[in-house]
Amino acid sequence: MARTKLNERQLDVLRRICHGQTPITSDDSGLATTVYALRNRGLVTTTRTDGRWSAAPTEAGRQHLAHTDATLAPRPSAPSTAPEAADLITRLQQAGGTLHITNPTPDERAHWRRVLHATRADRLVPDGHHLQHTGRDKGDLTITLRPGPPPRRSASPSETVPVPDDLPPERLHPAAATAHIPACPDCQPRARRILHALCHAAEAKNYTVSTPETGSAASLVITIGDCSFPLSFHEGAHEVPDPSGAKYAWQRVTAHTTRPSHQLDLSLEHTYAHRGRRSLWGDRQRWRLEDKLPVLLGEIAHRAQIEYERRQAQQRREEETRQCWLTAMQQARTALVEDHRVKTLRTQVQAWQEAAAVRAYCDVLEGRQDTGPAAAEGVTAWTAWARAYADRIDPVLQNPRLPDPPTITPEDLRPYLRGWSPYEPKRK
Tens digits of residue pLDDT in 365-418: 988 867 677 778 888 899 999 999 999 999 999 999 999 989 999 999 999 999
- Could you give the C-alpha distances from 282 to 100, 162, 230, 232, 335, in angstroms and in order? 39, 16, 16, 11, 65
For residue 133, is pLDDT > 90? no
- Could you give the C-alpha distances from 39 to 14, 55, 58, 61, in angstroms and in order? 10, 9, 9, 9
* DSSP codes, 122-157: TT-SPTTEEEEEE-SSSS-EEEEEEESSPPPPPPPT
For residue 77, is pLDDT > 50? no
| 154: confidence class by pLDDT, cuts 50, 70, 90 | very low
For residue 171, is pLDDT > 80? yes
The arithmetic mean of pLDDT across residues 207-228, rounded, is: 90
- Percentage of the chain with pLDDT > 70? 90
Average pLDDT value for the chain = 85
Residue in 293, 280, 103 with CA at minimum distance from that of residue 198: 293
Amino acid 232: pLDDT: 93
Q: What is the pLDDT of residues 282-304, one digit of tens each?
A: 998 888 999 999 999 999 999 99
For residue 79, is pLDDT > 70? no
Amino acid 115: pLDDT: 87
Chain length of the chain: 428
| 188: confidence class by pLDDT, cuts 50, 70, 90 | very high
CB 93 within 8 A of CB 86: no
The arithmetic mean of pLDDT across residues 251-257, rounded, is: 70
How many CB atoms sit inside 10 A of residue 33's CB?
A: 11
- The DSSP element (H or E) to which 12 belongs, if any, is helix 8-19
Identity (one letter) of the amino acid at 246?
A: A
CA 329 to chain centre: 31
CB 406 within 8 A of CB 336: yes
Return the biggest CA–CA distance within the chain: 147
Q: What is the pLDDT of residues 271-281, one digit of tens each?
A: 888 888 889 99
For residue 67, is pLDDT > 90? no
CA distance 28 to 154: 10
- Percentage of the chain with pLDDT > 90? 41
CB 87 within 8 A of CB 56: no
The arithmetic mean of pLDDT across residues 30-47, rounded, is: 82
Amino acid 21: pLDDT: 65
Contacts of 132 (CB under 8 A, 6+ apart): 143, 144, 146, 150
CA distance 270 to 303: 12
Of residues 97 and 355, more confidently modeled: 355
| 120: confidence class by pLDDT, cuts 50, 70, 90 | confident
CA distance 265 to 131: 36
Residue in 99, 68, 70 with CA at minimum distance from that of residue 84: 99
Pairing verdict, β 44-49 and 52-57: antiparallel
Tell me the HSE value of 180 on the side-chain side, using a 13 A CA sphere: 13
CA distance 302 to 281: 16
Of residues 297 and 28, more confidently modeled: 297
For residue 351, is pLDDT > 90? yes
The arithmetic mean of pLDDT across residues 106-125, rounded, is: 84
- The DSSP element (H or E) to which 352 belongs, if any, is helix 293-366
**Residue 289 region, left (φ>0) first, then alpha (ψ -120 to 50), else beta?**
alpha
The arithmetic mean of pLDDT across residues 75-95, rounded, is: 71
Amino acid 113: pLDDT: 85
Amino acid 157: pLDDT: 45
CB 39 within 8 A of CB 57: no
DSSP label of 183: S
| 318: confidence class by pLDDT, cuts 50, 70, 90 | very high
Q: Which domains, from first to last, does the chain contain?
A: 8-71 (1.10.10.10), 78-147 (no CATH), 169-310 (no CATH), 322-416 (no CATH)
| 4: confidence class by pLDDT, cuts 50, 70, 90 | low
CA distance 207 to 185: 29
For residue 222, is pLDDT > 80? yes
Strand, helix or coil at 21? coil
